[in-house]
Amino acid sequence: MEKAIDPGLLKTLENDIVPRLLEDIPNQPTERELADNPHLCRFIIVFDREGYSPDFFKKMWNQYRIACITYHKHPAGTWPEQWFTETKLTMPNGEEVSMSLAEMGSAVGSGKEPIWMREVRKLSDSGHQTSLISTAYILPHTQLAIRMFSRWCQENFFRYMMQHFGIDLLSEYGLESFPDTEKVVNPTWRDLDRQRNSMRNKLRYRQAKFAELTIRPEVENSSTKYEKWLIKKSELLEGIEQYEHKLEGLKAKLKKTPKH
């Protein structure tokens, strides 16, 4: 189901998708089983950071006992690398991959009643940490990682291609008026502008690599090569989404900062 971004995604989940899943998903736990095990969920829904909402996580768990898995929109700080363990994971297709994972509890939300969630992070070769959070309290953290970091690849691929492919690779142009009198550029604005340009270049580089992989897969006749190609695309896409998120943050800061 395709809807607009948050709050459209949250409304779609709550009003359209969840009621249907409650009716259609077979073999859900009974009320007695849920009462006997306070950490048991009816089922799990997985969505991207556009649906990030601590209030939504709490409502799904408290009202329906539905667990959520999504990317952490505001992870706090960087975890020490010694916390991470190289872990062998078996994908749904049977292929084994290795991920460097770490887990700890995390209070999510800024109000008086944050929700306690599980946070799992994946450490990439570049040192970047990708964080997911979940209220699936019983599921092994390895399964959380599999569901979030691999199962999403094709879904995110199509979403990303529809929204960004080609368009975001074009150069940006605009008109800027020339002032009548010389003004001194705000040093804070200049630094933010430099960071934005650097972030944009890094993003475009990864977008170009992603486009190259997409246009020239060269793996059609080998299932093993195809899976490796798919995983590589997934990792690139994770990086692209992280840089997009950071770039939006820099743009917002620039907008609030006087240029002169």
Mean of the per-residue pLDDT values for the chain? 81
The pLDDT score that the predictor gives to residue 160 is 53
Does pLDDT of 163 surpass 60?
no
The pLDDT score that the predictor gives to residue 1 is 41
Domain check: are 115 and 46 in the same one?
Answer: yes
Backbone angles phi, psi at 168, to 5 degrees: -75, -10
CB < 8 Å & 24+ apart, contacts of 211-214: 211/165, 211/166, 211/169, 214/157, 214/161, 214/165
Q: Are 230 and 153 in contact (CB under 8 A)?
A: yes
Domain check: are 38 and 102 in the same one?
Answer: yes
Which range (103-112, 115-124, 180-189, 227-236) has the least confidence?
180-189
pLDDT band of residue 93 (cuts 50, 70, 90) is: low
- Domain assignment of residue 176, yes or no: no
- Domain assignment of residue 164, yes or no: yes
* 229 or 193, greater pLDDT: 193
Percent of the chain with pLDDT over 90: 32
Domain check: are 117 and 200 in the same one?
Answer: no
- Domain assignment of residue 247, yes or no: yes
CA angle, 33 then 21 then 44, to 5°:
60
Domain check: are 216 and 133 in the same one?
Answer: no
Domain check: are 74 and 17 in the same one?
Answer: yes
Domain check: are 247 and 143 in the same one?
Answer: no
Does pLDDT of 179 surpass 60?
no
Domain check: are 144 and 195 in the same one?
Answer: no
- Domain assignment of residue 3, yes or no: no
Backbone angles phi, psi at 52, to 5 degrees: -65, 120
- Domain assignment of residue 2, yes or no: no
Does pLDDT of 10 surpass 80?
yes
Average pLDDT over residues 236-258: 87
Token pair 């944050």 in the structure block, residue = 114
- Helix 187-215 vs helix 223-256: angle between axes, to the nearest 10 degrees? 160
The region that residue 141 occupies, defined by phi over 0 for left and psi between -120 and 50 for alpha, beta otherwise, is alpha
Domain check: are 144 and 18 in the same one?
Answer: yes
What strands, in cross-sheet order, belong to the sheet with 115-123? 44-46, 67-71, 129-134, 115-123, 96-108, 85-90
- Domain assignment of residue 70, yes or no: yes
The pLDDT score that the predictor gives to residue 203 is 86
Token pair 């599999």 in the structure block, residue = 146
pLDDT digits (tens, 9 = 90+) for 196-245: 888 888 888 888 888 777 766 555 666 777 777 777 788 888 888 888 88
The pLDDT score that the predictor gives to residue 65 is 97
Domain check: are 54 and 105 in the same one?
Answer: yes
Number of domains in the chain: 2
The pLDDT score that the predictor gives to residue 112 is 79
* 217 or 193, greater pLDDT: 193
Determine the structural domain holding residue 130 and report its residue range.
Answer: 8-148
Backbone angles phi, psi at 235, to 5 degrees: -65, -40
The pLDDT score that the predictor gives to residue 101 is 95
Q: How far apart are CA 112 and CA 53, in angstroms?
A: 15
Most confident of 80-84, 88-92, 164-168: 80-84
User: Collapsing DSSP states into helix, strand and coil, what is residue 79?
Assistant: coil
Does pLDDT of 116 surpass 50?
yes
Token pair 């990864």 in the structure block, residue = 206
Domain check: are 29 and 137 in the same one?
Answer: yes
Backbone angles phi, psi at 259, to 5 degrees: -75, -30
* 211 or 19, greater pLDDT: 19
- Domain assignment of residue 177, yes or no: no
The pLDDT score that the predictor gives to residue 171 is 45
Domain check: are 105 and 193 in the same one?
Answer: no
Domain check: are 126 and 163 in the same one?
Answer: no
- Domain assignment of residue 72, yes or no: yes
The pLDDT score that the predictor gives to residue 153 is 55
Strands (DSSP E) found in the chain: 44-46, 67-71, 85-90, 96-108, 115-123, 129-134
